[in-house]
Amino acid sequence: MSGSVEYREFYAICNHMPGADRVLRVGGTVVFPTSGWSAEITAHEHQGAPPFNPRVLELDLTVTAPADGVVVTRAETSLELEEYRVEDPALEYEQVHFYLVGREGEDGPGPIEVVHPE
């Protein structure tokens, strides 16, 4: 089953406020054309050369369509993703880039600037 998938309100925040735990949090919402879809953010595993820019966090966004034969509701369905977290990151990330898995050849969420509240 195919259909238009949208990526909304993606964010990346690394809190530097006094008294707060220093955690980089990445999340967003994926909107599907029907029920039965799933999506998750995971670490990207590099094949070969390391990342070009170490200040860019590279993640996989895996989108899975309902299995063939599964009954779905034909209504727009939003899924708020479970946050991907990097506890006390060693680097000060500036951007997050996503590799779209399961929807190759389509545009996923664009690069996201990391917000650093202080």
User: In whole angstroms, what is the distance from residue 30 CA to residue 38 CA?
Assistant: 9
Q: 103-107: list long-range contacts, CB under 8 Å, 24+ apart.
A: 103/5, 103/63, 106/5
Q: State pTM to two decimals.
A: 0.89
- On whether residue 37 sits in a domain, the answer given is yes
- On whether residue 118 sits in a domain, the answer given is no
- On whether residue 108 sits in a domain, the answer given is yes
- On whether residue 70 sits in a domain, the answer given is yes
Tokens describing residue 6 = 């949208």
pLDDT tens, 80-93?
999 999 998 888 99
Identity of residue 35: S
Structural domain including 92 reads 6-113
Q: Is the pLDDT of residue 1 over 60?
A: no
Tokens describing residue 79 = 């899924």
Answer yes or no: are the C-beta atoms of 39 and 64 closer than 8 Å. yes
Reported as a pLDDT band with limits 50, 70 and 90, residue 50 is low
pLDDT at residue 19, rounded to an integer: 73
The tally of domains found in the chain comes to: 1
